[in-house]
Amino acid sequence: MSPEVIIDGLFAGSVYALVALALAIVFQPTRIMNFAQGEALILGAAVSYQIVALEKMSWALALVVTIVVAALMGVLMERMIMLPVRMSGSRYAWIIATLAAALIFQSLFNLGFFDVDALRPDPVVAGGFEIAGVSVEWQELLAIIVALAVMAGYDLFLRRSVYGRAIRATAHSSDTSVLMGIPVQRIVVLSFVIAAVITAVAGLLAAPVIFIAPAVGLTFTIKGFTAAVIGGVGSPRGALAGGMIVGLLDTVVRSVVGGTVGNFAVFAALAVILIVFPSGLFGKPMEAH
């Protein structure tokens, strides 16, 4: 095992951490664990692949287009998921609706990129540097920095802004929040949009390095969920810690044992954690579920 594996793990971890954060953002006001979240990651990868690799245009454009398209996807997802959930009233509605949304997006990506194995554009910043004998790719460093910045930014947003307080209130009780005059519906839409944009940016950063096929969105959702469970659903810091643990575990096991055993290790870790700590490592119990 080379030290580069650690860097790779941290890089993958920051991607998972962003997905975990996005899952938590949607979960807080809606009590819904969005199975379609990983599809936004594919969207980011697909847009950057289309613009940078196929159209040979700039990364800046890819970023702007990704953010706009992801915001639209967030709005669409909110409709696709929340409408059936409200109208059906079944206890499983949310899981079926998010799963259906995931499969719809997945099949759209499959249709659009049916001849593509991996959505892999050129890196934003090519090359790398060497520090203390460890070579680091700029792209990896960039992803880690962006992840940290997004986490810190969202943490600040949650604690300091009026909207952040409203989101936290809604997370506690959406019924009471409505009575307090908080526009819960707008906050729900906003959460879906923010979550989709964050995940899409993660996809955009990950695409040049990680293998992202059009159909693997669900795998990223589950790894993000694992990270969220380990870190405790709700806190950006927890998401970061959880993401790093999952990323390191995945990458290290993959490099030591090889192949798909990495997935194995992550899912096994999830199972073990849920057995020993039914409400996550740092988390509070999720009552409503």
- Which parts of this chain interact with other proteins (CB under 8 A)? 33, 80, 83-84, 87-93, 95-97, 99-101, 103-104, 106-108, 110-111, 114, 218-219, 222, 225, 229, 259-261, 263-264, 267-268, 270-271, 274-275, 278, 285-286, 289
Q: How far is CA 171 from CA 174, 182, 247, 279, 285, in A?
A: 7, 12, 28, 17, 14
Nearer to other proteins, 58 or 107 (CB): 107
Please state the closest distance from residue 38 (CB atom) to other proteins, in A: 12
Query: How many CB atoms within 10 Å of residue 89?
Result: 7
Rounded Cα gap, residues 17 and 31, in angstroms:
19
Nearer to other proteins, 51 or 246 (CB): 246
Please state the closest distance from residue 161 (CB atom) to other proteins, in A: 29
Rounded Cα gap, residues 36 and 45, in angstroms:
15
Please state the closest distance from residue 63 (CB atom) to other proteins, in A: 28
Q: Tell me, what amino acid is at 168?
A: R
Angle value at C-alpha 288, between 287 and 289, nearest 5 degrees = 90
Please state the closest distance from residue 86 (CB atom) to other proteins, in A: 9
Nearer to other proteins, 75 or 142 (CB): 75
Which residue, among 171, 192, 166, 196, has the nearest Cα to 181 in the 3D structure?
Answer: 166
Nearer to other proteins, 58 or 88 (CB): 88
Please state the closest distance from residue 263 (CB atom) to other proteins, in A: 6
Judged by DSSP in three states, 241 sits in helix
Give the relative orientation of helices 236-256 and 217-231 as an angle to the nearest 10 degrees.
120
- The per-type count for the chain, helices as H runs and strands as E runs, is 11, 2
Nearer to other proteins, 36 or 62 (CB): 36
Nearer to other proteins, 264 or 282 (CB): 264
Query: How many CB atoms within 10 Å of residue 75?
Result: 15
Please state the closest distance from residue 275 (CB atom) to other proteins, in A: 6
